[in-house]
Amino acid sequence: MIAAPTRPWLILAGLALGVTVTNGFARFAYGLLLPAMKSEMGWNYAQAGWLNTANALGYIAGAVLTMGLIRRVRPSVLFAFGLVTTTAALLATGLVTALWWQTLWRILAGVFGAMSFSTAGALAAQLFHDDPRRNALAIALLFGSGGGLGIVLAGATLPVLLGIWGYAAWPWGWVLIGALSLASLPLGLWAAGQLRPPRQAGQTAPALPLRRMLGELAGYAGFGLGYIVYLTFLSAWMTEQEAGPGFIALIWVILGSCIFVSPILWRPVLARFASGVPLTLILTGIAIGSALPVVVPGGAALILSATIFGLCVFMPPGAITSFSRQNLPPDSWGAAISFFTVVFAVAQTIGPYGAGLIGDRFGDIGVSLLAAAGILLVGAALALLQRPLAGN
With a cut of 80, say whether residue 278 has pLDDT above it: yes
If pLDDT is split at 50, 70 and 90, which confidence band does 382 have?
Answer: very high
Q: Could you tell me the pLDDT band of residue 251, with boundaries at 50, 70 and 90?
A: very high
Average pLDDT over residues 41-54: 81
The pLDDT of residue 3 is above 70: no
Of residues 63 and 158, more confidently modeled: 158
Average pLDDT over residues 303-328: 90
- Residue 277 has a pLDDT of 94
- Mean pLDDT is lowest, of 3-7, 211-215, 239-243, 356-360, for 3-7
Taking 80 as the threshold, does the pLDDT of residue 324 lie above it? yes
155 and 356 Cβ atoms separated by less than 8 Å: no
Which has more pLDDT, 311 or 354?
Answer: 311
User: 159-203, pLDDT tens digit by residue?
Assistant: 989 989 999 999 999 999 999 999 999 999 999 888 765 554 445
What's this model's pTM, rounded to 2 decimal places? 0.81
* Lowest mean pLDDT, pick from 6-20, 225-239, 282-296: 225-239
Alpha helices in the chain (DSSP H): 8-19, 29-41, 45-69, 75-93, 99-124, 132-165, 170-194, 214-240, 245-272, 277-295, 299-312, 315-327, 333-362, 365-383
Domain segments of the chain as ranges:
8-194+213-383
* Arithmetic mean of pLDDT, 212-236: 89
Contact 63, 345 (CB under 8 A): yes
Residues 149 and 156 sit within 8 Å (Cβ to Cβ): no
Does the pLDDT at position 225 exceed 70?
Answer: yes
pLDDT at 243: 82
Q: What end-to-end distance do the CA atoms of the chain give, in Å?
A: 16
Residue 2 per-residue DSSP state = P
Rounded to whole angstroms, the Cα distance separating 138 from 318 reads 9
CA distance 235 to 281: 26
- CA atoms of 376 and 312, how far apart (whole Å): 12
Residue 197: what pLDDT? 58
Rg (CA), the chain: 19
Q: Residue 218 pLDDT > 90, yes or no? A: yes
Q: Identify which has the larger pLDDT, 261 or 378.
A: 378
The predicted model gives 53-60 an average pLDDT of: 86
pLDDT of residue 205: 58
Nearest-5° Cα angle at 123, 334 to 340: 35
DSSP state of 313: T
pLDDT attached to residue 255: 92
Q: State which amino acid sits at residue 124.
A: A
By the 8 A CB rule, do 259 and 153 touch?
Answer: no
| Percent of the chain at pLDDT exceeding 70 | 95
**DSSP state string for 168-213:** GGHHHHHHHHHHHHHHHHHHHHHHHHH--PPP-TT--PPPP-GGGG
What mean pLDDT comes out for the span 274-286?
A: 94
Residues 6+ apart with CB under 8 A from 203: 331
Q: What is the mean pLDDT of residues 269-282?
A: 90
364 vs 248, higher pLDDT? 248
- Averaged pLDDT for residues 226-254: 86
The per-residue pLDDT for range 350-366, each reduced to its tens digit, is 777 787 788 888 877 78
Q: With 70 as the cut, is the pLDDT of residue 383 above it?
A: yes
The number of helix segments (H) and strand segments (E) in the chain equals: 14, 0
- Tell me the mean pLDDT in the region 33-52: 83
- The predicted structure's pLDDT at residue 27: 82
Per-residue pLDDT averaged across 54-77, rounded? Answer: 86
Determine the Cα–Cα distance for residues 237 and 293; give it in Å rounded to an integer: 10
CATH number corresponding to 8-194+213-383: 1.20.1250.20
Mean pLDDT for all residues in the chain? 86
163 CB-contact burial (10 Å; exposed 0-12 / middle 13-18 / buried 19+): middle
**Residues counted in the chain:** 392
pLDDT at 302: 92
| Residue 110: band (very low, low, confident or very high) from pLDDT cuts 50, 70, 90 | very high
At 392, the pLDDT band (50, 70, 90 cuts) reads: very low
